[in-house]
Amino acid sequence: QITDMDTTRVLLIIGIVIQCLTLALSAPVGGDAVMDLPPGGDMFLKKALLSAYEKELENLEALEMDLKKNIASILNKKEELRMRKRQPIQCLISAVSCYGKKK
């Protein structure tokens, strides 16, 4: 059962969709917006983008150096733990070899 209220809602939604499509198609393309800039404005935007990219690159390089330092620290700790774990085994091996030589 379709009522008059449902029909009105459907027509209203269709009208809104058509209006949105009309506005979207009549809106200027991105290149037209750049043409509205004052002379040298596009160069200013390019310089601003370039400086933003350079700052981001510097930040990423600093983070990379921190990560490398952290990785080196972790590897050193891993090696220390491995050597500590190995020491009791070396003592046992030495005791066995010493015991074998005494006989």
Record the pTM.
0.43
Give the pLDDT band of residue 76 (cuts 50, 70, 90): very high
Residue 102 has pLDDT above 50, yes or no: no
Where are the domains positioned within the chain? 1-36
Locus of tokens 């004052």? 38
Across the range 2-17, mean pLDDT stands at 75
What letter represents residue 103's amino acid? K
Cα separation, 38 vs 55, in Å, equals 26
Cα separation, 97 vs 83, in Å, equals 20
Contact, 42 vs 34, CB < 8 A? Answer: yes
CB-side neighbour CA atoms (13 Å) of 70: 6
Residue 1 has pLDDT above 60, yes or no: no
